[in-house]
Amino acid sequence: MNWRGRVYKPLQTITRDAMAAFLYRLEHGAEPVTAHAPVLAPRATVWVTASTLHLRAQPTWNSAVVVSARRNASGTFDGAREHGWQRVEMGGVKGWAPSEYLRTTEPSFTVTRVGIKVDELWFRDGPSNNDTVLMKIRRGERGEFTGVIRGDWWQVRFRDRLAWAPAMHMNVVRPFDAAAVLRTAHSQVGYRAVSYNDNKFNDWAGGRNPWCMVFVMWVFDKSGFKQGVPFELLYSDWAREALASGIVDRTVTAADLKPGHVVLVDWPPYTGPTHAGIVDRVVGSNVILVEGNTSDGTGDPTRGVFVRERRIVDMYGVFNPDEFARVNGY
C-alpha cells in the first residue's frame, strides 16, 4: 500500500484495529509513527498532530465520536489509558484518542482567527442553543478558533473567554499579505488595454466600465485576500462602499500610506474621488502607486497598468485592506 511515496508492507497479519489506525492516518494527514507514543503524566497538556482527530466515547475505532479537534488543538490528559489509547478532555468533554496522534510539546503554529458573518452573534457556554449565553459579539470583532469542534459548533476565544457558536456564522480570517498584493500588482505592469474599457480585468469582473477599481479588485482576488476591498462594477458604488465602512482615512499624510494599502484619488478641482490605486511606496511629498486604467505618463493615450507617481495632496483617502475585511466580518 503506497502512502506519500512510501510503500506500506506489513510483515505479518495485522488486526482490524491496526488497519483502521493506518487508514485514519492516511485520511487525516498525521505523520507516520517513527517513535513510541508519548508517555503522559495525568493533567499533562497535549496537542493534536492529525489534521482532524475524532475523540471517541470508548477506546475503539468504532465507538461514537464525542468531540473533534483540528491539528494543534490542545487538551488535557486525565490519566486514563488503555491499549494505546489515552483519555483527553477537550471543550469540556472527555474522549479517547490513540496516543500516537498526541504530542506533549507545544507546536509552533499560527492561531486561526475568526470573524462574525452576521450583525451580532450570541456565544454560549456549550455547543447548543439551549446553553447559557455568555456574551454577544458584533461584526467587526475578531476571536481565535481553538480547533475544538462539537457537531456544527466551534469553540472560540473572544475577549479572553472561551465560548461556543455555530461555525456557519463565522469566517476564518486570512492574514493580509501586503507583499503578495504588490507582487501581484507589479506582475501586471505594462499591460495595455485593447481599447478604453476593453481589457482582461473587465472580462474577469463581467463589466465594461472605467476599471481602475476593477484592477484593484482583481489584484486582491488573485492575492488571496478579496475580502480586503469592495467588489462593485461602478466606481461610484465602489467608493461609496469603501467610505461607508468607516475605515477610510480622509486626512492623508505620508505616514498613512503603507505598502499594499488602497487609495482613492481626487484630482483638482477636488470634487470627490474618481480614481483608485495600490500604494507601493512614498517618495517625499509624492506617493508611488500601481494603477489600472491609467496612461504610462509619456503622452501615449493607451490605457493600461502602470506605476505612477502622484502628489499626496491629491489623495482623497486611504484604507488598510485588513481593516476593511475586519469590519465586514473577516
Q: What are the chain's domains? A: 2-103 (2.30.30.40), 112-173 (2.30.30.40), 178-327 (3.90.1720.10)
3-state secondary structure of 219: helix
User: Is it true that the peptide bond before 269 is cis, omega within 30 degrees of 0?
Assistant: yes
3-state secondary structure of 179: helix
Residue 139 has pLDDT above 50, yes or no: yes
For residues 227 and 286, the answer to whether their CB atoms sit within 8 Å is no
Give the Cα separation of 35 and 7 in Å (integer).
18
Residue 237 phi/psi, 5-degree rounding, is: -70, -40
What's the pTM?
0.82
Read off the pLDDT band of 85 (50, 70, 90): very high
Mean pLDDT of the chain: 91
**∠ at Cα 205 (241, 300), nearest 5°?**
95
Give the Cα separation of 227 and 324 in Å (integer).
8
Read off the pLDDT band of 41 (50, 70, 90): confident
Residue with cell 503506497: 2
Read off the pLDDT band of 33 (50, 70, 90): very low
